[in-house]
């Protein structure tokens, strides 16, 4: 149990790397705007940077899945269910690009951080303290841990309680219900979309 817990922490470190990617995206934008470029052009260059990263990971996945190359570092982070399909970082990068291109920045940031920290807390708390199942292999402990984490993220990033509660609830429900589909893609898209809809309706 303890070894599995440690391995889960190792896999969740990949989520933290998205924070570095987001920081790079906003840094590129700020530098270009400071240099006199328009915000629209700066945003496009930032998104192109993210697409370039996505292409790199797609090439690595091609080598792993199509040519059966073993990449030692990634092999340790890949879950058993990802052995024969694309790694979660591909979906997370795709969701990051879509979110930053379509949603308001604060909503996109909240959706991505909920995916990062909410999913991480759900997995770690669920494995450590979860005993009562809520759906399939998901536990009440993981569900509540993620919901609280998502609300905290929302409060730190957003300023509208309706948007916060909507996004936190949607992100938690999607994480709970999804098993075969990749939650790294679904959580940001679903929670960001609903948050944007609620914001527009106010």
Predicted structure pTM score: 0.86
How far is 143 from 138, CA to CA, in rounded Å?
Answer: 7
Q: What is the pLDDT of residues 114-126, one digit of tens each?
A: 998 998 888 888 8
The string of pLDDT tens digits covering residues 75-93 is: 666 666 666 778 778 999 9
H-helix or E-strand containing 117? none
Q: Which sequence spans correspond to the domains of the chain?
A: 2-201
Rounded alpha-carbon distances, angstroms, from residue 84 to 15, 60, 66:
20, 14, 10
The helix, strand and coil proportions of the chain, stated in percent and rounded to the nearest 5, come to 80, 0, 15
pLDDT tens track for 7-46: 555 556 666 777 888 899 999 999 999 999 999 999 999 9
Radius of gyration of the chain (CA): 17
Residue 142's pLDDT band (cuts 50, 70, 90): very high
What is the pLDDT, as a whole number, of residue 32?
Answer: 95
Paired tokens of 122: 């759900």
pLDDT at 126: 84
Among 11-15, 144-148, 187-191, the minimum mean pLDDT is found in 11-15
User: So what's the pLDDT on residue 1?
Assistant: 44
Mean pLDDT of 44-67: 92
CA distances from 106 to 6, 84, 158 (A): 32, 35, 6
d(CA 99, CA 101): 5
Which residue, chain included where needed, has tokens 């930053």?
A: 100
């Amino acid at each position: 149990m303890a070894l599995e817990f440690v391995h889960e922490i190792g896999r969740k470190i990949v989520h933290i790397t998205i924070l570095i990617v987001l920081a790079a995206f906003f840094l590129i934008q700020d530098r270009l705007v400071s240099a006199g470029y328009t915000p629209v052009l700066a945003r496009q260059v930032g998104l192109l940077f993210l697409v370039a990263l996505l292409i790199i990971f797609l090439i690595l996945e091609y080598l792993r899945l199509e040519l059966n190359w073993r990449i030692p570092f990634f092999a340790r982070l890949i879950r058993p269910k990802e052995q024969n399909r694309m790694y979660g970082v591909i979906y997370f990068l795709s969701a990051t690009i879509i979110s930053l291109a379509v949603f308001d920045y604060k909503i996109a940031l909240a959706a991505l951080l909920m995916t990062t920290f909410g999913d991480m807390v759900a997995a770690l708390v669920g494995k450590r303290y979860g005993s009562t199942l809520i759906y399939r292999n998901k536990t009440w402990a993981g569900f509540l841990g993620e919901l609280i984490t998502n609300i905290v993220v929302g409060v730190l990033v957003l300023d509208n309680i309706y948007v916060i509660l909507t996004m936190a609830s949607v992100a938690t429900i999607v994480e709970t219900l999804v098993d075969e589909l990749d939650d790294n893609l679904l959580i940001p898209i679903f929670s960001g979309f609903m948050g944007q809809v609620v914001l527009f309706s106010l």
